[in-house]
């Protein structure tokens, strides 16, 4: 085969390759975006349109009243969710930042073992913990309280957060603190003034992660709250869907109202979070 | 804090109060139904890997709209699982949901499938929806790993006339190996311990046919208050996930020694 032939063949096959590639991407987009779009537009549908026999993506008579109704009926639970998630985030930052820094920078006996225990905790089946936590929290008077949920979520949040932040701290050059200390900083102020501002993106991303973990959780909040306690929005949605649903448009609007905050936070913090796993 | 969970579980040692529970469990039909459901449900990890790998390779090979496409892929993962569960409860609702309406209108199906009352369709729905929801986690890991492959490797391979298949087999795949190991093992554990979506979609039923071990445990603990049995199920689940945790730690150590 002559060289020109070979080049011709390559460019032909690469044009075909381009086509197949974009066709596949379009397919995947359809599989993942179409259901989402359909559900989203359903939130604008008045009740009677759900019984029409034809399938349309765009509602015939779009209405905003579903969104208003959904928001009004979820108000209290959304406030609960917000308080629960914000408190969880603040508490986890206080625990995670120093822990991750110590793991990244300091040598101490049992460090490796302790670190593997954190990995094990990250992969521990949390569903096993709901019984002991429920009974211990009940004994401590934390059952059905917001503080109880704040503390409970630390078990979910801290291992993964330490894992991500430790990685970020470890990648910063060590001479940062050394030179800061030469200019008269103490070790603590070197950390606060130099390391922490430099790691702001990672710290913010981990904070987002804590927030959305607490916001999204069903397992623990369902176990630790009752109707008279601080019930979060996700649990309320679950209760609505396991009963008889009369107006799916309203439920879809609720779904997207609850889903909006974590999605925005995740997309904002995404780059930092995925970097800790870029291995090999 | 994260260390406390080990002692939490040991405050109620299953060896003492639990032996009877194990005997009961192992002689009880639904336990085997649950084990079978767990094994079948585990295939969701494979489905997620295939989708994630395909998507990561595709997204990595394009330059336009890269951010837009990968961000929109992430959305199912970022929503609360109960929210994606709700979306699918509507979409595949046999009476009002658009999917069965569409299929019956086009005469592909004679009548809607009442998927939640048959074991095999209920299990399929649960596996499908779990895969749909959670694959982007693997996608993120694999894409990050793909992006870290130096472009020069591909250039020099091209100079020596390596085709696209050769380049994939000899550069991409070996580079991804550790990332795949990490992603599969962590995802496997997380998939097997998921409760909320399955519980919401089917309640673990019909019967026990979609009660994977974690849901089985939850039903004992939450619905029936049988803590002893729930613990026994938990120990079985723990042993299974521990195997994958060890796999994860091996992958992690390997990636560390590769980097040094």
Residues from chain A contacting residue B89 (CB–CB below 8 Å)? 241, 245
Cα A158 from Cα A145, distance rounded (Å): 20
How far lies A162's CA from each of A2, A103, A169, in Å? 58, 9, 10
Interface predicted TM-score (ipTM) of this complex, two decimals = 0.84
Q: What is the mean pLDDT of residues B183-191?
A: 88
Residues from chain A contacting residue B75 (CB–CB below 8 Å)? 32, 36, 263
Residue A174 above 50 pLDDT? yes
pTM value?
0.85
Cα A57 from Cα A36, distance rounded (Å): 11
Closest CA to B181 of B252, B237, B131: B252
- What one-character DSSP code corresponds to residue B204? T
Q: How many helices (H) and strands (E) does chain A have?
A: 12, 0
Nearest to A29 among B51, B69, B231 (CB): B69
Q: What is the pLDDT of residues B99-142, one digit of tens each?
A: 888 888 888 888 888 888 888 899 999 999 999 999 998 998 88
Residues from chain B contacting residue A115 (CB–CB below 8 Å)? none
Q: What is the pLDDT of residues B64-76, one digit of tens each?
A: 888 888 888 888 8
Q: What is the pLDDT of residues B54-98, one digit of tens each?
A: 999 999 888 888 888 888 888 888 899 999 999 999 999 888 888
Cα A197 from Cα B91, distance rounded (Å): 46
pLDDT at residue number B259: 59
Joined tokens for residue A159: 């291992």
Residue B58 at interface with chain A, using a CB cutoff of 8 Å: yes
Residue B18 above 80 pLDDT? no
Nearest to B177 among A32, A254, A280 (CB): A280
Q: Please, what is the average pLDDT of chain A?
A: 83
Helix A248-275 × helix A233-242 angle, to 10°: 140
Residue A80 above 60 pLDDT? yes
Q: How many residues does the structure list for chain B? A: 260
Q: Please, what is the average pLDDT of chain B?
A: 82
Residue B41 at interface with chain A, using a CB cutoff of 8 Å: no
Q: What is the pLDDT of residues A93-114, one digit of tens each?
A: 999 999 998 888 888 888 888 8
pLDDT at residue number A230: 86
């Amino acid at each position: 085969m002559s060289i020109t032939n070979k080049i011709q063949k390559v460019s032909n096959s690469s044009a075909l390759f381009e086509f197949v590639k974009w066709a596949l991407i379009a397919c995947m987009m359809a599989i993942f975006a179409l259901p989402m779009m359909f559900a989203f537009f359903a939130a604008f549908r008045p009740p009677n349109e759900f019984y029409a026999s034809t399938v349309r993506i765009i509602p015939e008579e779009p209405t905003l009243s579903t969104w208003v109704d959904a928001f009004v009926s979820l108000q209290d639970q959304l406030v609960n969710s917000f308080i629960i998630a914000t408190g969880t985030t603040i508490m986890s930052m206080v625990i995670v930042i120093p822990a991750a820094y110590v793991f990244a920078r300091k040598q101490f006996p049992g460090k490796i073992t302790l670190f593997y225990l954190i990995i094990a905790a990250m992969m521990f089946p949390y569903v096993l913990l709901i019984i002991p936590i429920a009974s211990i929290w009940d004994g401590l008077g934390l059952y059905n309280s917001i503080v109880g949920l704040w503390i409970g979520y630390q078990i979910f949040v801290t291992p993964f957060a330490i894992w991500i932040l430790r990685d970020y701290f470890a990648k910063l050059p060590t001479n940062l603190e050394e030179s800061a200390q030469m200019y008269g900083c103490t070790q603590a102020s070197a950390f606060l003034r130099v390391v922490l501002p430099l790691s702001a993106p990672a710290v913010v991303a981990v904070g987002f992660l804590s927030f959305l973990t607490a916001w999204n959780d069903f397992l623990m909040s369902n176990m630790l709250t009752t109707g008279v306690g601080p019930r979060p929005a996700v649990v309320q949605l679950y209760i609505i869907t396991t009963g008889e649903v009369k107006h799916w448009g309203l439920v879809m609007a609720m779904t997207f109202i609850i889903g909006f905050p974590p999605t925005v936070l995740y997309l904002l913090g995404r780059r930092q979070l995925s970097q800790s796993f870029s291995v090999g | 804090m994260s260390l406390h969970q080990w002692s939490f579980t040991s405050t109620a040692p299953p060896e003492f109060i639990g032996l009877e529970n194990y005997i009961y469990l192992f002689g009880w039909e639904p336990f085997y139904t649950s084990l079978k459901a767990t094994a079948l449900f585990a295939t969701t990890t494979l489905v997620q890997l295939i989708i994630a790998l395909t998507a990561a390779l595709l997204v990595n090979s394009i330059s336009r709209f890269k951010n837009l496409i990968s961000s929109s892929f992430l959305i199912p993962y970022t929503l609360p699982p109960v929210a994606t569960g709700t979306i699918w409860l509507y979409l595949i609702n046999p009476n009002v949901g658009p999917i069965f309406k569409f299929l019956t209108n086009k005469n592909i199906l004679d009548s809607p499938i009442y998927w939640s009352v048959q074991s095999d369709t209920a299990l399929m729905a649960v596996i499908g929806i779990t895969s749909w929801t959670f694959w982007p986690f693997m996608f993120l890991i694999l894409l990050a790993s793909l992006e870290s492959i130096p472009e020069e490797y591909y250039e020099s391979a091209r100079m020596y006339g390596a085709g696209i298949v050769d380049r994939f087999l000899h550069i991409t795949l070996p580079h991804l190996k550790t990332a795949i190991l990490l992603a599969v093992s962590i995802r496997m554990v997380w998939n097997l311990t998921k409760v909320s979506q399955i519980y919401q979609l089917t309640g673990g039923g019909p019967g026990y046919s979609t009660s994977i071990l974690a849901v089985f445990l939850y039903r004992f603990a939450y619905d029936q208050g049988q803590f002893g049995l729930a613990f026994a199920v938990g120990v079985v689940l723990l042993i299974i996930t521990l195997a994958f945790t060890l796999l994860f730690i091996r992958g992690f150590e390997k990636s560390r020694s590769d980097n040094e």
